[in-house]
Structure 1
Amino acid sequence: MGLSSANTVVNEGFQFCIFDLRRGQHEGQELDKILFFYPADLPFSTQLSVIGLSEGLITFTRIFSPEAACEVIEAERNSHVFHQAEPDIWMVMVVEKSKESDSIWRIDALRRVLKEVHSLFVMFHGSIRSLLDKDPSGELVRSHLYAFIMDYLSDFLVGKKIKLPSFRDCLKERGTVQMLTVGREAALEVQSLVRVLESCAGNAPCYSLVLFQDLLVSTTLSPDDTINLFTYAVLRLAPNALLSRASSWSYLRKGNTASQIAAASVMASSGSVSEQFYGSRDTSPHGGERSHHVVRPLQHNKWYKGMDGFLVTDIWGPEVGSMVSATPTVLLQQTEERMYLCVYQHKSLTLILLFPISSILNGEQGISVVKQQIVENASLKMLKVEEKLSKGWGGENAYHVGGYRYLLVDGDRNVSRASPPGKVTTLTKESLISLSNLREEIDLEKSRAKWDDPGHEKDLEICIRAKNNAWVIARTTRGKELYMVLEKANETLLFASDAIEKFSNRYCSGAFSLD
């Protein structure tokens, strides 16, 4: 199932669980509340102990803050990170504090992992509550959660150990998209392509995302749906993902390729405790009456490029009454409508097209007709767009700014831009730890401001001289955030402040200038 915790992955110091507060309220039924637990081979008594403690902390914190859900509890040995994914359904990550340098993390970064895995799960399978309503026994949702989350965690597998986002990732922002800057002529070509694609669908609505490499060029979806589809595209659909090699400039973390191969080959034994608890692992649609066909969209190396340019996969199983693979589907968050997912790729250009299932006549046959229309009417336009974007593309270091290591976040648009990872690796450990600690302070200030005065965003500016004499800087204003490390800067604060002003005026339209 992607990766197994049994005898293979070193999982000391990391626990991840999902539970439902509405279930298991009677003596002898406590296990019913557990929907997912990692490591799954821990004794049930240990699992219940972790979840019982989490329930107690949630209940206790509600006494003092009934309107604000518990987000984190710091204990002497562990950090307990909480996310209320749905009403009464909680996701909790327990990470052990240790002396290892990579165990220095930022709580908001861990919470974003919880939010991301839930958002992706809902996009493919629907809400956890809806699956529980469909099968009150919990077997359906457990089998889906287990497969999905284990495949998701395989991206964090390094060797035999799961490596969560640490201080080394402080110049990244999960849950945002990274945009490609294009000129006016290229932008007009992209708009023209989108109109042609929409016309190919006839009377059916057509939503689209256009990506170049791992960067977003255009979207007609809502912000939340854009983030979900963009994240999935970078993880599994973009050219670098299809080639099963981590891009040196991708802004989203990818797992070690060797680890992915090792993880994919590991299966939980049929007689294991986790097997008994989570129900049948038979993913065949022709299994027994109690088995479920578990769609695993986060499996590695399951998408291939077809002869017509569209990507194909057998993840969704065969079409009913046919040997042909069914077209993938996703659920849009904004409209709560199930959509066909079609992906076309030409060199570095990836087009993600969504069509409402209810609007496509004859189902799979109708989708085949739409694809044929796209190939016949939009192929030349797609070639032209890819050529123009390639000519204007500056390579993996396109957004590098000499002398700066930075992260720019626009919270209102859910967009971020950062120094290329290859350049970030040149920073010293001291600089990265200092910036991670600074971001933790900013996160706390933002959280306090959100509850103290929800209608007012607080402007902040902090400049710190690190132990290695680097300047570590944070500025937030009007929904935008800028984080920066200057290792080769002059010793004076005036020099550092001037460097920020120059960066703001040249690359941020003066958004962070003090004038």
Structure 2
Amino acid sequence: MGVSSMAAASDGMQLQLCVFDLRRGQQEGQELDKILFFYPTDCPFLTQLSLVGLCEGIITFTRIFSPEAACEVIEAEKHSHVFYEAEPDIWMILVVEKSKDDGQVWRCEALRGVLKEVHSLFKMFHMSIHALLDKKPSGELARSHLHSFITDYLSDFQLGKRMQMPSFRDSLKERGTVQMLTVSREVALEVQSLITSISSCCNGCDSLILFQDLLVSTTLPPDDTANLFSYCTLRLTPHALSSSTSSWSYLRKGHSTPNLSNLTTLDEHQSRSRDTSQGQNSQISSIPRFLQRDKWSKGKDGFLVPNFPSGEVGSFVLSTPVVWNQQNDNCKYLCVYQHKGITVVMLVSATSLANGEQGLVQVKNQFLENVAQRVTAVEQKLSRGWGGENAYHVSGYRYLLIDRDRSVSRATPAGKVTTLKKESLVYLNKLREEVDIEKGRWHRDNPHQEKELEVSIRAENNAWVIAKVIRGKELYMVLEKANETLLYATDAVEKFSNRYCEGAFSMEY
């Protein structure tokens, strides 16, 4: 497809990730101005332009036939090209090298989930790419922020010189969703009382409460909850703070970080006649690196302490991280309190504090005086009822349950998934890809009409691989060492649905 030279661009390189703006670089000789980010950073310009030109041509061509949904994926002999329009005319392209040796079979929608996730997290901390381009039309600001943020994000997938993306082994996981902790009615009432106390002492702030790597409660809408939950389990929970391997990452086996001295922007290369490297490096070093490891530590008072360069919001210089709501672009301070296994995340509106960031000291003092003891009590009750990492294992089942409307999922624990045979996971991966394609057709035909789908496959290794989609909910299941009759598989799904899904996937629902 015109990018066969990709593999030679960098020894051991497994993927390319590009962010470009279709509106920019329309005049001859200014084509590089389109590119806002490119990984690997040392990829030759001709290769970058070749990829962007190819993708731009395909996007333009496919829009003729499908104006509302341009190209989503190109499958070439040696590479998969995954497209995602993150913002109007802002495209993210992921090119993944196919390999027959290591058995890395992926699902394109899972790869697109990587692009969606990094863009959502980027917007949460830096606002939209369009906003950065409007602030500095040269693109220098957007490029600097994208370079630091996406490079730190990709470091979680780096294994030596290679980048390891989600593969068929992750078919029972779903990005962009929240994993909830189920609590008793008694504990739920305690949690609700805690939420009320937090709101009363923190100027009506929004909050998230997590126990271990599971969400207990949230006052945010689903999209904001999913973004903040992803960040918490990546960098803020006790597991993330105490271990170099976080449960958030699918495949993290190493944690080498790319050489940051190689980070440059295209503006530098386009201005070779003048020495701008010193100023550029200074700008990059001053950007808060929210996704770098070891940037949060726990203080003696229980609040997590950030170690970032000062950021700016409007005309104010801030040392406390701020996040932006997806729906209304409200700016909020990120305050995190932790006691043993519980993490309380508070989003305090910047406009609610008369003294700006200094008002956070008073908010934290009020929290310690009026709320901290309640947090301790809730943590004790959650600990007593916690069943450990295998709390949501169901004997005989390997499953993934997704509620798209609430962006919530629940799945078989990772340790139990590893007991499945490779063939079972490969079949499930293929089945999920077919379901993705079918759901795409539904959305293009009638985005407001919900349809139902049920597929049961008897795999060659005598396992049942099952998918069921109904009313915004999805269930994926693998049954190994199971009876060969379809009736057995149907009954198994029925029993699971009645007991664990409130009958959502039952035939008589």
Q: Normalising TM by the smaller chain, what interval?
A: over 0.9
Please give the residue correspondences for 1:149-164 in structure 2 after superposition, counting only pairs within 5 Å: 149-164=150-165
State the distance in 1 between where 2:69 and 2:141 align.
31
Partner SS state of residue 261, structure 2: coil
The reply to whether residue 339 of structure 1 matches residue 332 of structure 2 is: yes
Change (3 A) 1:228 1:10: farther
Which of 493, 496, 506 is matched with 1:503 structurally?
A: 496
> Partners in 1 of 2:167 and 2:250 — Cα distance?
11
Corresponding residue for 2:59?
58
Cα offset for 1:46? 0.8
> Relative to structure 1, is the Cα distance of residues 371 and 167 closer, same or farther in structure 2, using a 3 angstrom cutoff?
same
Gaps of 5+ in 2: 1-7
Question: For the structure 1 residues 273 and 236, does the alpha-carbon distance in structure 2 shift closer, same or farther, using more than 3 Å as the test?
Answer: same
Q: What residue identity is the alignment partner of 2:212?
A: Q
Q: Deviations for 1:209-266, whole angstroms, at most 9, x for unmatched residues?
A: 000001000000111110110000010001110012435xx3642623xx32x316x3
Q: State whether residues 251 and 421 of structure 1, in contact with CA within 8 Å, keep that contact through their aligned partners in structure 2.
A: no
1:3 is matched with none
Deviation at 1:383, TM superposition (A): 0.2
Is 2:13 the counterpart of 1:20? no
The alpha-carbon distance between structure 1 residues 291 and 502, as it changes in their structure 2 partners (threshold 3 A), is: closer
Partner of 1:407: 400
Q: CA deviation at 1:96?
A: 2.1
- CA offsets per residue over residues 342-377 of structure 1, 9 Å max, x none? 000000100000011111121222001100100111
Q: Secondary structure at the match of 2:334?
A: strand
In the other structure, the counterpart of 1:317 is 310
Q: Write the distance in 1 (CA, Å) between the matches of 2:442 and 2:195.
A: 40
Aligned to 2:221: 222
Distance (whole Å) between structure 1 residues aligned to residue 29 and residue 447 of structure 2:
43
AA aligned to 2:132 is: L
Matched, 1:83 2:84: yes
Equivalent residues of 1:268, 1:275 under 8 A apart: no
Q: Partner of 1:211 in structure 2?
A: 210
Asked if 2 retains the 8 angstrom alpha-carbon contact of 1:35 and 1:138, the reply is yes
Tell me if structure 2 keeps the 8 A contact 1:177–1:216.
yes
How far off is 1:100 after superposition?
Answer: 3.1
* Among candidates 437, 442, 467, match of residue 474 of structure 1: 467
Instruction: Report whether the alignment pairs 1:358 with 2:351.
Output: yes
Q: Say which is worse superposed, 335-344 or 72-81, in terms of deviation.
A: 72-81
Q: How does 1:187-266 map to 2 (within 5 A)?
A: 187-201=188-202, 204-246=203-245, 250=247, 252-253=249-250, 255-256=252-253, 259-260=254-255, 262-263=256-257, 266=259
Question: Deviation of residue 10 (structure 1)?
Answer: 5.3
How far has the Cα of 1:318 moved from its partner?
8.3
- SS at the partner of 1:196? helix
Change (3 A) 1:45 1:302: same
Output the CA distance in 2 between the equivalents of 1:123 and 1:221: 13
Which whole-Å CA distance do the structure 1 matches of 2:335 and 2:14 have between them? 40
In 1: Cα distance, 2:278 partner to 2:462 partner: 55
Using the TM superposition, give the Cα deviation of residue 13 of structure 1 relative to its aligned residue in structure 2, in angstroms.
3.6
CA 1:207 to 1:425, structure 2 compared with 1: closer, same or farther past 3 Å?
same
| Distance in 1 (alpha carbons) for counterparts of 2:462 and 2:278 | 55
Deviation of the 1:85 alpha carbon:
0.7
Structure 2: which amino acid aligns with 1:461? E
For residues 304 and 160 of structure 2, the distance between their equivalents in structure 1, rounded to whole angstroms, comes to 30
Q: Is the 8 A contact 2:288 2:311 kept in 1?
A: no
Give a deviation string over 1:296-324, Cα, whole Å, max 9, x none. 1000111000011000012143899xxx9
Is 1:330 aligned with 2:331?
no
Q: Rate the CA distance shift 1:280–1:423 in 2: closer, same or farther, 3 A.
A: farther
User: What secondary structure, in the 3-state scheme, does the structure 1 residue paired with 2:474 have?
Assistant: strand
Q: Residue 104 of structure 1 corresponds to which residue in structure 2?
A: 105
8 Å Cα contact 1:310/1:344 also seen in 2? yes
Structure 1: runs of 5+ lacking an equivalent: 1-6
Alignment correspondent of 1:4: none
Indicate the RMSD between aligned Cα atoms, in angstroms.
2.4
Q: CA deviation at 1:294?
A: 1.1
Q: CA deviation at 1:453?
A: 2.3
SS of residue matched to 2:121:
helix
Deviation at 1:282? 6.5
On the 8 A contact 2:264/2:280 being kept in 1, the answer is no
Letter of the structure 1 residue corresponding to residue 257 of structure 2:
A
Checking the alignment, whether the CA contact within 8 Å between 1:78 and 1:97 is kept in structure 2 is: yes
Aligned equivalents of 1:439 and 1:270: distance in 2? 37
* Residue identity in the other structure for 1:359: S
The 1:458–1:271 alpha-carbon spacing in structure 2 relative to 1, beyond 3 Å, is closer
**Superposed, which structure 2 residues align to 1:245-324 within 5 Å?**
245-246=244-245, 250=247, 252-253=249-250, 255-256=252-253, 259-260=254-255, 262-263=256-257, 266-269=259-262, 276=269, 287=282, 293-317=286-310
| Rounded Cα–Cα distance in structure 2 between residues aligned with 1:271 and 1:310 | 35
Alignment of 1:125-164 (within 5 A): 125-164=126-165
Aligned to 1:186: 187
Counterpart residue identity of residue 253, structure 1: Y
Post-superposition shift, 1:267?
3.0
Give the match for residue 4 of structure 2: none
| d(CA) in 1 for partners of 2:396, 2:263 | 55
Partners of 2:116 and 2:11 lie apart in 1 by 24
SS at match of 1:386: helix
Tell me by how many angstroms 1:293 deviates. 2.4
Distance 2:227 2:103 in 1: 28
- Separation in 2, partners of 1:272, 1:142: 6
Contact 1:317–1:326 (CA under 8 A) maintained in structure 2 = yes
Distance (whole Å) between structure 1 residues aligned to residue 284 and residue 424 of structure 2: 51
Superposed CA deviations along residues 420-446 of structure 1, whole A, max 9, x for unmatched, are 000001111100000000000000111
Task: Give the match for residue 421 of structure 1.
Answer: 414
Q: Deviations over 1:28-58 (max 9, x none)?
A: 1111010001112111011000000000110
Q: What is the CA–CA distance in structure 1 between the aligned matches of 2:24 and 2:9, rounded to whole Å?
A: 32
Supply the distance in 2 between the matched residues of 1:318 and 1:417 (Cα, whole angstroms): 36
Alpha-carbon distance in structure 2 between the residues aligned to 1:255 and 1:271: 26
The answer (yes or no) to whether the contact 1:474–1:483 under 8 Å persists in 2 is yes
Q: CA deviation at 1:76?
A: 2.7
Q: What letter is aligned with 2:233?
A: V
The answer to whether the Cα contact below 8 Å between 1:207 and 1:354 also exists between their aligned partners in 2 is yes
Taking the aligned partners of 1:63 and 1:107, their CA distance within structure 2 comes to 23
Between 1:266-275 and 1:353-362, the stretch displaced more is: 266-275
Matches within 5 A, 1:158-177: 158-177=159-178
- State the secondary structure of the residue aligned to 1:263: coil
Distance 1:358 1:231, change over 3 A: same
Query: What letter matches 1:235 in structure 2?
Result: L
The one-letter code of the counterpart of 1:255 is: R
Aligned residue pairs: how many? Answer: 495
2:191 counterpart letter in structure 1: V
Measure how far apart 1:497 and its partner are: 1.2
Indicate how the Cα distance of structure 1 residues 436 and 416 shifts in structure 2: closer, same or farther if over 3 A, else same.
same
Is the Cα contact below 8 Å between 1:167 and 1:436 reproduced in 2?
yes
Distance 1:426 1:239 in 2: 27
TM-score (norm. length: structure 1): 0.91
- Counterpart Cα distance in 2 of 1:272 and 1:455: 42
In structure 1, what residue type is equivalent to 2:430?
N
